[in-house]
Structure 1
Amino acid sequence: MQWPRAGGSIYFRIGQVAEILGVETHVLRYWEKEFPELAPRKNRHGQRIYTEEDVRIAMLIKYLLYEEGYTIEGARKKLRQWIHESGVPENVQAHLKTELVAERLKHIKDKLARLLQLLDRGTPLD
């Protein structure tokens, strides 16, 4: 998956990751406790900082739990297998890429709708 580059390393806050995945932040915090592979660092202010790899892992967890219907324990085992042994199947990677693009398009659509509302009210954009 390609991520937008903004001058070097890419980091996401928990709210951004929650928005990308379409889950609440408390869900991500729960997954961090249940899946050792999902371990974002914390910055000096104690805020979670997710890397691209952390986001990919969270997407895999969501896929296993929500799409495939695994239990937490089953998803933990399958994730461990994919990461440490066999690799993520291509069809799963393709599904996640499609999901990511769909989420980006939804986000853009929502922003455009808000802009149109502002324009309809005559509110200046500056």
Structure 2
Amino acid sequence: MSEKKYKSISEVSKILNLKKHVIRYWDSKFDGLSVRLNSNKQRFFNNDNIIKLREIKNALYKNGKHNYSLDLANTIANKKNINLHEEKKLVSFSSKNFIYELKLISQNLKRVLKSL
């Protein structure tokens, strides 16, 4: 007996150990997921979709930790042949932006405290 060409979201959820709502969210946010909808608007995934979801999961979560933003994970998942140097540059850029944002928040909080 041959393997099914498409799998339901429940089957994919079990395969990837992800909640169904996470898969639905990623489907709406990530490029390259051409999920098939049936007449009842139920999602069905082919093997390429499952591989893409696995790449996204691996980019977002390594060693059980949340590593990257969704945008960065999308970039990484779309570049199958990304080399380590490029990945480090992307992470470094993301980290610098995060630090900058934290500094701005800190400055704003200090201003608020002074005004109280």
Q: Structure 1 length normalisation: TM-score?
A: 0.57
Higher relative contact order (CA closer than 8 Å, sequence separation 6+): 1
Q: Does 1:5 align with 2:14?
A: no
Q: Residues 85-118 of structure 1: CA distance to partner in whole angstroms, max 9, x if unpaired?
A: x379xxxxxxxxxxxxxxxxxxxxxxxxxxxxxx
Matched, 1:67 2:67: no
Q: Structure 1 residue 24 and structure 2 residue 1: aligned?
A: no
Q: Residue by residue, what CA displacement relative to the aligned partner does 1:57-106 show, whole Å, maximum 9, x if unpaired?
A: 01111010011712111111111222xxx379xxxxxxxxxxxxxxxxxx
Deviating above 2 A after TM superposition, structure 1's stretches of 4 or more consecutive aligned residues are none
Q: Structure 1: state its 5+ residue gaps.
A: 89-126
* Equivalence for 1:47: 42
Q: Which moved more, 1:53-62 or 1:35-44?
A: 35-44
Query: Residues of 1 paired with 2:82 and 2:5: CA distance?
Result: 23
Please give the secondary structure, in 2, of the residue aligned with 1:49.
strand
Mark the runs of 5 or more structure 2 residues left unpaired by the alignment: 84-116
Amino acid at match of 1:5: S
Matched, 1:58 2:56: no
Partners of 2:46 and 2:77 lie apart in 1 by: 18
Residue correspondences, number: 81
Q: Report the alpha carbon displacement of residue 39 of structure 1 after superposing the two structures with TM.
A: 2.6
Q: Which amino acid aligns with 1:70?
A: Y
Q: Rg bigger for which structure?
A: 2
